[in-house]
Amino acid sequence: MTAFDLLFILIVAASAVTWIAAAVSALSRPRARALRILGVWTVCAVFYLAIVAVVGIASPQRILHPGAPWCFDDWCLIVEQVTHSPAPPQVAYTVSLRIFSHARRVSQRATGAWIYVIDRDDRRYAPEPDSAATPLDVLLQPGESVSTSRTFKVPPDAKDLALITGHGFPYWLHLPIIGDESGLWHKHTVIRLQ
């Protein structure tokens, strides 16, 4: 968890308090105070989202290649191999992954881990369901490593395919966090597949 994650949690808590104060003010007289509270909250929210957007636009994109580890704290993922084959009317890309832990003393998992393939147009392709595949959020012992794979079906015209991943909140909940790799207008960190 970064300082910006903590800031976001504090802002959500402050927003909840602000909305409760506005609701209490709306129930009492005068109601204009509730509107002033919500007006200040709106200005602050727009200012915060502007900071998220500016940081996202200004941040360079991080591009990894197969074989390079992508780590979130002590949880890491490596694309070991990419193969593709026709799956009319689409193309199936099978991505062999190794998930490992850098932790020395504690077991861990990437709760809520997700993975997609994206193309040049930022279209997302979810992995095909596979109940036999090792889950991304498998519990890892200190220093443990597991292998798994995911298959993605993409249209044949999809170009510049890359893999994106993360864990924790669902993908869209990362949008309002300053500096988050999945933040608003932030260029995704990706592992190039082609």
- Asked which of 14, 40, 58 is the last residue of a domain, the reply is 58
Alpha-carbon span 129 to 136, nearest angstrom:
13
CA distance 168 to 134: 18
The amino acid sitting at 7 is L
Please state, in angstroms and rounded to a whole number, the distance separating the CA atoms of residues 51 and 29: 35
What pLDDT is attached to residue 1? 65
Same domain, 85 and 178: yes
Domain residue limits at 31:
3-58
Mean local confidence (pLDDT), 88-117: 90
Whether the full predicted model's pTM is greater than 0.75, yes or no, is no
State the pLDDT at residue 161: 95
Residue 170 pLDDT exceeds 70 = no
Write the CATH number for 142: 2.60.40.1240
Provide the number of structural domains found in the chain.
Answer: 2
User: Are residues 34 and 71 located together in one domain of the fold?
Assistant: no
Do 168 and 136 form a contact (C-beta atoms < 8 A)?
no
The 10s digit of each residue's pLDDT in 73-96 is: 788 899 999 999 998 999 999 999
Same domain? 99 vs 166: yes
Say whether 60 sits in a helix, a strand or coil: coil
Region 28-45 average pLDDT: 88
Please spell the DSSP secondary structure of 5-40, one letter per residue: HHHHHHHHHHHHHHHHHHHHHHHSS-THHHHHHHHH
| Beta-strand pair 114-118/162-166 | antiparallel
Lowest mean pLDDT across 31-45, 98-112, 174-188:
174-188
